[in-house]
Amino acid sequence: MRKSAIACGLLASAAFTSPVLANADVQKLSADPNNWAIQSGNYAGTRYSTLDQINVSNVGSLKVAWTFSTGVLRGHEGGPIVVGDTMWLHSAFPNIVFALNLADENKIIWKYEPKQDPSVIPVMCCDTVNRGVQYAEGKIFLHQADTSLVALDAKTGKELWKVVNADPKRGETGTGAPLVTKDKVIIGVSGAEFGVRCFLTAYDINSGKKVWRAYSMGPDSDILVDPAKTIDVHTGKPAGKDSSLKTWNGDQWKIGGGSIWGYMSYDPELNLIYYGTGNPSTWNPAQRAGPDGKQIDQKWSMTKFARDVDTGVAKWAYQMTPFDEWDFDGINEPILADIKVGGADRKVVVHFDRNGFGYTQDRATGELLVAQKYDPKVNWATEVVNKPGDPQHGRPQVVAKYSTFLNGQDVNSKGICPAALGSKDQQPASFSKQTGLFYVPTNHVCMDYEPFKVSYTAGQPYVGATLSMFPAPDSHGGMGNFIAWDAAAGKIVWSKPEQFSVWSGALTTAGGVAFYGTLEGYFKAVDQKDGKELFKFKTPSGIIGNAMTYTHGGKQYVAVFSGVGGWAGIGLAAGLTNPTDGLGAVGGYAGLKQYTNLGGSLTVFSLP
C-alpha cells in the first residue's frame, strides 16, 4: 500500500515540474567573475574567483574603499551579491534588504524592511542571523526569520510574491540562504532545538507554488526516498523500505529534528542538489535510545543528501554521525570539485563536518573516498571506517570515554573535542582551482557535556544538555585555525593559528590570495601556498560574514560583513553572561568582549 502511494507521489512530483535546463541566468551571471551573483560564488560552492588584479604581490596595499551600515546590531553572516552596477545586501533580523547603485556613490536604490513578529527572536537558535539573499531572472529571493520566502523585483524592491514556509510558534525558523536551480527556489527550515521535524522545500520561482518537500525523517513518501533506488552509502545498496522509520523508537521521528540551514550546492550535469541535515532531537541520547536501551541510528539526521532537483527524490544519502551524542550537525556546506584521488580523476563533493572529519565522496554515487580528521585534537572518535562491505563502513569509531551514553543511560562526559559547535560550523570553506587545496576556517574548541531529561512541548526548547566550552588543551592556546586541506590525501598542508574561532567564510582568488575574517574583527589575506599573512585590517566589529569579490569600473573590490554574533558571539550579541548560556558558548568566548563590540556593517577594500 505504502509503496504504491510513494510511487504515485514521485510520479506526480516529476509531472508537476517543467523540463527546463539549469537556470541559465544564474549560470551566466555567476560565470562572469565581475559579478558575485550567488552566495557561494557559483553552483559548486567553491567560493573561488578568477579575478587576479588583487594578488600576493600587492594585497598588502589594500585600503578601505567604502563602508555601509545596515543599522542592525546583531550577527551578520552571509554577504552581499553583485550583478553589474547593483549590489544587494541583507541584515540580521528584521532581515532588511538594500539595493545599492555602485555607479552612483553606492546610493540606496531601494530598501525592503519586512514586518515580522518579534516573537520569532526567542525561538531562533544561536542568534538572529540570516545567510543571504539570492538573485535570479530579475528577482531577489529572501528567506525571512519567520520562514516567509519572498520574491522581490530586483530593480524596485516591490514584493512579487510571498509564501509562508513553516510556523515559528512551533519553533520553526528560517536563517538559510535560498538556492535557485532551474525554475525552483529551494530553502530549508530550522528548529531541531525545539523538536521540529525539519524539511527542504522547492518553490516555483515565478509563482511561489510549492513543487516538492522532503522531510529529514519519517515515512519514505515524506522523505522522498525511493527504497529501491536511493543508495545508502554505508551499505552501498538501496536504502530499502522505511529506512528512516525503523531507526527511530516509536513515534519519536515526529519530533526528530534534522534542521536544514547550511549552504547548498548544485551539479547541473547530474541534476543533483547537495545539502546536509542537523542533529536529532533531543540532545540527550538516552531519550532517543531503542526500547532495549541500545543505540539506533535515527536516520536521516546528520546526513549528506544528493537529491534530484526536479522531483526531490534522493539519489544517495550518507549519515556522518549516526545516533548523535554531541550535536555534531551535518549542515556544513558541500563543495563540488574535480580532483585526482588515488591517481584517478574524480568528480567529488567535499564536506568538512562539525564532527571534525573531512569527507571526500564521489558526487554521483556518494562513494566514500576519504574521511580524515581536519583538526588533530578531535578525540571523540578514532577514525571513520572506509572498507566497503564492512558492517562499520562509513561509520565513526566512538571512544567510550567521550560518549554521552552508556548502557541505556545518559552520561556526563568531559574533554570532548570538538565542542558542539564543531571543528567547523556554518563558516564556509573555499576550493582554489589554482592550488587544488581547500581553505577551511576552523574552531579549535572542546567541551564538557551534561545531558538531562527534557519533555517535549511544541514551541518550547527541547535541548536536554548543558555544555561548557574551552580551547583545545595542549595546543596553541587559541580557539581557531585557518587551514589548507588536501582533500585527496585527507591531510592538513598548513595551519595558521588564531586567538578565536575563525567564524568567517573564506574566499580564494586567481591572485593566489585567501581571504577570511576573525571573531575579534580582523580581515586578513594570506598566501594560498604557505599561509603567510599578507594583509590585515581591524573592522568595526567581529567578523562572521563571508568574504566576496567583484569588479566595478575595471577595479577589483573585496568585501566582508562585520557584526559579531552567531553561536560563538551570542554572548555579545544577546547580552548573555551565564557561562552555560548560548548552549555553552557564552563561557567559552567570554574573552571576546575585550576585543570587539556589536556592529552591522559592510567594509569594502580595493587597491589605491
For residue 34, give the amino acid letter: N
Grouping H, G, I as helix, E, B as strand and the rest as coil, residue 358 is strand
d(CA 391, CA 236): 11
Q: Which domain holds residue 33?
A: 2-606
Q: What is the pLDDT of residue 8?
A: 37
Sheet containing strand 491-498, edge to edge, reads: 430-431, 438-443, 480-486, 491-498
Mean pLDDT of 439-459: 96
d(CA 460, CA 451): 17
- Compute φ and ψ for 601, nearest 5 degrees: -145, 160
Whole-number Cα distances in Å, 113 to 92, 158, 159: 11, 11, 11
Grouping H, G, I as helix, E, B as strand and the rest as coil, residue 570 is helix
d(CA 311, CA 434): 36
d(CA 544, CA 535): 18
What mean pLDDT is reported for the chain?
95
Mean pLDDT of 118-139: 94
Q: What is the pLDDT of residue 477?
A: 85
Written as nine digits, the cell of 351 is 564536506
Q: Identify each DSSP E strand in 189-321 by its residue range.
A: 199-204, 210-215, 231-232, 237-238, 265-267, 272-276, 303-308, 314-319
pLDDT band at 125 (very low <50, low <70, confident <90, very high): confident
Is 327 noted as a catalytic residue in this protein? yes
Task: Tell me 370's DSSP state.
Answer: E
pLDDT band at 415 (very low <50, low <70, confident <90, very high): very high
Mean pLDDT of 363-369: 98
Mean pLDDT of 401-423: 96
Q: Which of 571, 441, 431, 562 is nearest to 498 (CA)?
A: 441
Q: Are 544 and 563 in contact (CB under 8 A)?
A: yes
**522 has pLDDT over 70:** yes
pLDDT band at 75 (very low <50, low <70, confident <90, very high): very high
Number of structural domains (the chain) is: 1
Place of cell 587544488: 436
Report pLDDT digits (tens) over 276-288: 999 999 999 999 9
Mean pLDDT of 558-587: 93
Report pLDDT digits (tens) over 315-340: 999 999 999 999 999 999 999 999 99
The single residue of 226, 232, 327, 375 carrying the catalytic annotation is 327
**17 has pLDDT over 90:** no
pLDDT band at 100 (very low <50, low <70, confident <90, very high): very high
Q: What is the pLDDT of residue 18?
A: 36
CATH at 326: 2.140.10.10
Rg of the chain over Cα atoms, rounded to whole angstroms, equals 22
d(CA 205, CA 184): 5
d(CA 577, CA 593): 11
Grouping H, G, I as helix, E, B as strand and the rest as coil, residue 100 is strand
Q: Are 286 and 324 in contact (CB under 8 A)?
A: no
Cis-peptide into 461, omega within 30 deg: no
**15 has pLDDT over 60:** no
**pLDDT > 70: what percent of the chain?**
96
Q: What is the pLDDT of residue 22?
A: 64
Instruction: Quote the Cα angle for 496-320-489, to 5°.
Output: 45
Report pLDDT digits (tens) over 187-230: 999 999 999 999 999 999 999 999 999 999 999 999 999 999 99
d(CA 213, CA 246): 21
Written as nine digits, the cell of 2 is 505504502
Q: What is the pLDDT of residue 21?
A: 53
Instruction: Quote the Cα angle for 307-312-317, to 5°.
Output: 35
Length of the chain: 608
d(CA 1, CA 382): 43
Q: What is the pLDDT of residue 126?
A: 87
**31 has pLDDT over 50:** yes
Grouping H, G, I as helix, E, B as strand and the rest as coil, residue 92 is coil
Expressed in angstroms, the distance from the first to the final Cα of the chain is 69
